[in-house]
Structure formats: C-alpha cells, structure tokens
Structure 1
Amino acid sequence: MELVEDLAGEDRQRASDRLVAMGEAAVGPVLAVLCDERSPVEWSTAALVLQRIGEPALEPLVGALAAAATTEVARRCSSTLGGLRVADGGRFAALLSHPAPRVRESAASALQDLRADVEPYLPALAGVLDDPDEAVRRRARLAIEAAGWLAVPMLREIRRGTGRRRTAALTTLADVGGWDALDEADRRAVARLIEIKAAREAPAPMHLCGSWFAVPTADQPAVLDAFGLAEPRAVTMRLGGSAWTRDHHGWSSVPHAECRRTYVTPALDGWTLVFGKIPAVAHAAPADSETVWRDEVRARCAALSARFGAAHCYGASCGDGWTAWCLAEDGEVIRFYDAFEPGDQTGEPHPAEAGLRLPHISAFPMEAFEGVPREGIAERFREIQRTLPAQAHATTLAARLSVDPSALGPHTTVAGRAVLALTPCGLAEPSTPGALAI
C-alpha cells in the first residue's frame, strides 16, 4: 500500500491522517510494517497510526503480540497495545485471561494508564495478582496502585482471605498508602514480624546515596530531640535503610515525600547515624538546593557538636563521583569539603585525610607524559597508577573517624534499636506510601 510507504517520507503526517481515516482497512498493512524490523518506517509512526485507529486494531494487535517471534516485535506490539484508543476499558480487562503472558501484561499496563478510572476493573486485576507470570503480577499491582485509595477496601478483603494473592495485596496496600492503608490486623502482624527479625538482625552494609550525620553518642532520645524528630517507631536496620533509599531515589508527587521521615540507627560502635533529607533542602528550589545543603550541614554539625562534643556529616552518590564531609567539634566546623565545590572548603585538610588524594585534584599532572615516546605512554600510565595515593571518599573518612555504613557487619557492636521518626513535615502528612524491606 503506497500510503504505508509514505509513512517513511516527508509527507508522513498526511499519510498518517489518511490511514487513520481508512480505519479497519489500514490495520493489516500498518501492523505488518510495525512488526517488520527491516522496514524504513519508524515503528513509533506505525504505532501511532494504529493507536489513533483504536478499536479495530485491538484484536489484530493482540494476535501479533501473542505470536511475536522476537523480543523487539513483542516490545513494539505491547507498547502500541498499551496506548490504543479504546472507549471501553473492559476490552483490556477481558484480555487479562488471555493465554499469552505478554498479552495479559500489556492489558494490565493499559488499565494502569486509566488511573482512578480503573476502579470498575479492579476485580479483574485482582484475579491476576497470583498469575503464574511474575511480570503480569507486577503490572497488575501497579495498575491497582494507580487507583489509589479506591483500591484499599478490595485489597483489605483479599488480605482476610487465603492464597498467594494475600502477599501481593499487602505490598500493594503499602504502596498505596503506607502504614495508614493497613488495617489493625495487618499492622499487628507487621509489628510482630519486625520484632522477630530485629531480635536476630546483624548489621549489614548499606547502599549509600545521599548524606547522613554521625554523632558520638548512644543516647538516641537526645539525638531525636536534637534533630526535631518525633513519634519514633522501632524498625529493623534493613527497614530503616530501605526507607532512606526509597525516599532518596523514588519519584513521587506526594507532598514532602523526601522529607517526612528519618532513619536513626541504634548506636553502632558508639556512634548514632541519622539518614534523611533535611526539610529545608527538600523545600529549596532546585537551583538553590546544593547551596542550601552546604549551609544547613555546616550549621547543623556545629549545633550538634556543641551538644555532643563532635558531629560529622558525610555524603556519597551512587550515580556519579560526588562525595563530601563536614567535621565539627565543640560547636565549630573544623573541616568541610565537597568534591563538586572544592572552592567552598572550610579548614585545612583533616589528619584523617593524610595519604589520600582529594577527588578534585587531577590524578595525572599535565607534565606526566612530557618527553615520553608514544610507545612508552602505556607503561608510564601504569607506573603513575601504581604510585598515586588512594582517592579520598566520605566512606574512607567515616571508617577512620566514626562508622562506615557501607562496611557494617557482624563485627559492628550494636546498642539499642533502629527507629523511623517523623520530621515536622511528616507530622503534618499521612504516612509515606511504599512497601519496604523488613
């Protein structure tokens, strides 16, 4: 069909409009192009035509998806099916019983896009919470979660029943509304599980991305008071770390999602660690957040050290080379370093930095290869690598001065309990949504 060929040319918009006007008659040729990995037509162009045609393309797309011979063709068909313009979401709900897992997953994805309008199809989605395919189960949970609190009564009913769906329902309840979405029976069950796991929990290395404070005290109530935290709830260390990681990495439109709660460790080798975004930093405009962070860290470390004798703040990123540290004693910041703002240092290098190279200092001086012949550059490079001092990092400083969270283990002494506590932002908001590892 000449119009389909025109989808690869400069007049693709006109061709698209005419194909859409043809409706069902255009579905077969356009679908063939979509499934042809060698076609000069961009698959996304063909997909948009089919999505605009809508209902007549549904069954052919389902057939193509179920029969897809390659992962790429399956991906194209699935993406197209998920965005198909179909007036009745019940058509997608009916596909949740299709024999092909790919089709069931795509149908759940299409229902997820309905968000609150998915309510009539929640029972159908609940029916695949125990689907034999993990991808289908995951997509069904996301689709139910998209309905928000409209799904809570159904999920609570599933929790009171039997079968594998109970676990998926609990996770989805937590993702919808956190602690507030659980009924009293589930709250008691979760609390019991936390107590059981905490009793035999050994410290384990934490994934670090963000900043944390370290205070040389085992007086947790005093630390909570110093940070203005309230309503501490006993948790496992794993749960506390999971909450911090989720709050830092998760994207959410929920107000104050990053700064509602703080993870406070038990005393680890005599140091209490505090993980959580400072509210003032979370509230700052993106362009100002780094400056606000540096100012807040300096001020908070100084205040904490006046109360506890010393206080540290460390920062590390899992996505780039950022690292930072702030060290304060007796009410005064004696050292501050930020790898991305080396011109904003405070104090001279700390003795704990001895033998280390600051991250902003070039590893290879410009003159390193002067006079070295081309064939000797590789050997000169290896020679310099062998002689370079190790690069300083927050975890290195923490290991030398306090506690390195990335190196926790059975050797770490533990006193007290881990807690999640609420910031002033958290006190004014519902519980934070999101299932956490216990």
Structure 2
Amino acid sequence: MEITELLDRLGAGAQPVRQAAAAELIDLGEDAVAAVAALMRADVSTVATETAASVLWRIGLPALGPVVEMLDGHPAEMVRWKASLALGSIADKLTDLAPVARLLAHPSPRVRTAAAYTLQGRGERALPHAGELITLLDDPDPQVRERAGWALPHLGPGVVPALQRIRRDGPGRLRARVLTALADTDPDALDLRDKAALRRLIRVKQLTEVPAPMHLCGLWLALPTTDQAAVLAALDLSDPFPVTMRLGESAWNHDNHSGGVLDDHSGHARAYVTPALDGWTLVFGRTPSHDHDPDTWAEQTQRQCAELSGVFGAAHGYIMSCGDGFTSWCIAEHGAVIRFYAVEHDTEIGPPHPAEAGYLLPDQRPALPADAFDGVDLRDQAAVGARWDQLKLDHAIPDTCTATTIARQLSVDPAAMGPHLRVEGGGVIARTACGRDLPTPPGALEI
C-alpha cells in the first residue's frame, strides 16, 4: 500500500483502520519517517499531532533527525512539546543513550534542554553521560543550565564522585556550579572545607538578618518562650544546626513539597526552630504525625499542643496550605485544648476564640441575595472580585479569618514578619526522632 494512502487512513476512518495504518507505517520504518514528520509539522492536518508523534517514536532511532528538527525550529509550542515526548520515547527504545547524549552539544538551546530532560527521565541509565551533563552547568543559556542541574540528581548516587572531582579539581567556573548539584544529590558528600565555609557564611548572615515574610504551606507551632533548648527537648529534637531564617524557611518548604525523596519519613526528618520572635519560638515541621489522615492528624495535634502547653503555659498549632484553602488552628493553655478548628473538619473544640470575633470562619458562607452575581461573567475573576468587594460593603460582610489571622493576634504571623519583630538568638534546623538515622535530605537551600 502506498504511503500516501496509509497517511490518509491514519487520519480518517474507524479506529481499527487507523491502528492498522499506524502499524504498517511503523513497519516501513525509515521509509515512512519523512512523510509522518511532515504531517506532524503541518499547520492543518487530518492526523492529530499526538498520533503522528506516536508513530515516529515507535519507528525509533530513524526518526531522531526529524524530531530534533522540530524541537529546534518549529514555531508551535505544542509541536515542540510532542517532539520532546517523542524524543523520550525514542530513548526508551535505545540500548545505548549515546545518540541522545550527543544532542547535549547541539547548537540549539531548545534541543540541549530537551536532551537533558530526556536523560533526566532515564535515571541511572544516563549515568555514563554524567560528564556531558556536568559540562552544561556552564552553558550560556540559563534554561539549559537549570535543566542540567535538575537532571544530575536523577542519575543516582553514582554521579557523586564525578561532581566531587569537578569540585576538587575544576575547571574553575564549574567548581562553583557543581556545589548546587552536589547539594541536590547528596549534601553529606560536601567535603569538610565546603561545610566549614557554609557554617561561616551562616554565622555572618545571622548577624544582620532581618525577619521577612514566609511562604506558608504546612504546619507550624508557636510557643511563648525564648528558651530554644527547652523547645528542642520538649519536641525530642536533636543535633541542632545553626541556620539563617531564610535557610530554615527554605528547608521547611523544600521538605513539604519534595514528596518524600528518601523514604516515608523524609518529609518529617527535620524541623526548623526560629530564634525567639517577640518572645515566641516558632517550630516549622510535621513533628506531630507520620500519617496524612486528617482525623489522626487532628487528634495528634491536639494531644501535642495540650502537652506542650503544660510545659510552656500555652501552645498553638497552625496550618496554611498554598495549594487549596485548607487552614486550621489549635489553641491550648495549661495542659488543655481550649479551641480547635479546621476547615470542613467534623470536630471543633471549644467556643469561638476571641481572636475570631468579627470574622467569618473559612467554611461559613454569608447570606447573599439570589441576584448577587447577576450580569457578572463568572469566568472573569476580576469582575467577580469587584462584585464581591461591593457586596461586602453593601451587606457589611466581615473578612474571613485563617490561621495567619489568628496567629497575628495571638502570637506571631510568619506571613507578616518584618523588622518590627524583636529577635533574640538564632534559628536552627534539628533532627526529629525519625530523622536521626537518615542522611541529610537532598536539596540545595537558600541561605
């Protein structure tokens, strides 16, 4: 059957007809590559881009050239993206990734980026090409440098000696850049000189650091004490390492969003304990629970806050989520929880706290007229926001409170920290009971 007829069948007819045409084109191999690639590049075609891409990657290595051409120069982002996926699928059919690794030296930064991304996805299979990826850490294009840095940790622990060798022997420009790659792969592999320099830098920055608003996503505790050692003891935290406030925040957010890169305990292997801030010490980390079940978490948070309040007189547990509207607060005094609230949680403890007065709770909905949003395009966020602001004024609707609203009144709001806070001492990152026998979580952190 002629290739043109197969292409026609690939874009029309019942699914079995299209599947049969795709199979015949794949059997033709290199002879079909140019025609299928032309379909993928076409502005208008009866064949979907993903269908043409699927045929190309199933043909395999003979399709590599046209795929690279599309990565390099096609104006449509969708076509370039499908070509990138096709490159990855071609790589999966190769026993030797050298044809992909050679693309790391391609003149086009798009191709170099796609090649690095493809090797990243092949994991330890790409380890023989670690040297070429390391070279890209000094690429003139920032996106290529970034992608190479992301790819190297995925090559596994075997990449560490190559990074250490560059860190030790150079060349000069790469020596600085591999430091981040080492931290992203295995922070414990940093040599003693680098670790000592890191400690010195932290000490220097601590002297002049000013509190700054934090990005909040997760749990933190607030304890009315300046005794950091007592906080560490009460939470069974050990091996405190001095950090800047910026570094502590970076570690907490990294651990919350890393997805557990070591094992089930890696997300709560360490906690960030702040310096005393206006007489309060804040602790960031999932110390109460190893379980993500909300009922288990709620019970354990209440128990921990009650116990800590017996030691410090009061203890608050707060949660904010950056991914949705979840928020929670737990207020304990002298050994007992006096208020617990969580969005859409079945259990509340205690009457509304005075700090909640004048606010709506997050799951409370104000009564509005049936025609409140008549004439407003609900897809237009700006228009919806403007109407909501007007409705609040017209109907005296109070603001909605969140954990930061409560923290701002009762302790310290981490999202509003600034030079107005009195700072005593320095912050530390400490190991939890789960983290004491684990390696340092990988990830380069801001200092």
TM-score tier after normalising by the smaller chain length: over 0.9
Match of 1:274 in 2: 283
Match of 2:118 in 1: 110
Match of 2:381 in 1: none
Q: Out of 24-33 and 9-18, give the one that drifted further.
A: 9-18
Match of 1:290 in 2: 294
Match of 1:320 in 2: 324
Secondary structure at 1:356 match in 2: coil
Q: TM-score, normalised by structure 2?
A: 0.91
Q: Output the CA distance in 1 between the equivalents of 2:37 and 2:240.
A: 57
Q: Output the CA distance in 2 between the equivalents of 1:252 and 1:330.
A: 35
Match of 2:163 in 1: 155
Deviation at 1:350, TM superposition (A): 1.0
Q: 2:397 aligns with which of 388, 400, 413?
A: 388
8 A Cα contact 2:136 2:144, kept in partner: yes
8 A Cα contact 2:288 2:301, kept in partner: no
Secondary structure at 2:283 match in 1: strand
Deviation at 1:42, TM superposition (A): 2.2
Secondary structure at 1:291 match in 2: helix
Match of 2:410 in 1: 401
Q: Output the CA distance in 2 between the equivalents of 1:74 and 1:94.
A: 19
Match of 1:141 in 2: 149
8 A Cα contact 1:262 1:422, kept in partner: yes
Match of 1:306 in 2: 310
Q: 1:263 aligns with which of 264, 272, 282?
A: 272
What is the RMSD of the two structures over their aligned residues, measured on CA atoms?
Answer: 2.2
8 A Cα contact 1:93 1:107, kept in partner: yes
Q: 1:199 aligns with which of 207, 214, 219?
A: 207
8 A Cα contact 1:279 1:425, kept in partner: no
Deviation at 1:315, TM superposition (A): 1.1
> Is structure 2 residue 222 aligned with structure 1 residue 218?
no
| 1:36-47 to 2 correspondences below 5 Å | 36-47=42-53
Q: Which amino acid letter does the alignment assign opposite residue 245 of structure 1?
A: N
8 A Cα contact 1:218 1:272, kept in partner: yes
Match of 2:72 in 1: 66
Distance 1:55 1:340, change over 3 A: same
Q: Which amino acid letter does the alignment assign opposite residue 446 of structure 2?
A: A
Q: 1:425 aligns with which of 408, 421, 434?
A: 434
Deviation at 1:76, TM superposition (A): 2.4
> Is structure 2 residue 18 aligned with structure 1 residue 12?
yes
Q: Out of 206-215 and 152-161, give the one that drifted further.
A: 152-161
Q: Which amino acid letter does the alignment assign opposite residue 324 of structure 1?
A: S
Deviation at 1:380, TM superposition (A): 9.6
Q: Which amino acid letter does the alignment assign opposite residue 125 of structure 1?
A: L
Secondary structure at 2:267 match in 1: coil
Q: Output the CA distance in 2 between the equivalents of 1:44 and 1:120.
A: 31
Q: Output the CA distance in 2 between the equivalents of 1:185 and 1:21.
A: 58
Distance 1:19 1:352, change over 3 A: same
Q: Output the CA distance in 1 between the equivalents of 2:355 and 2:414.
A: 17
Secondary structure at 2:318 match in 1: strand
Match of 1:231 in 2: 239
Match of 1:91 in 2: 99
Deviation at 1:400, TM superposition (A): 0.5
Secondary structure at 1:164 match in 2: helix
Identity %: 47
8 A Cα contact 1:78 1:102, kept in partner: no
Match of 1:350 in 2: 353
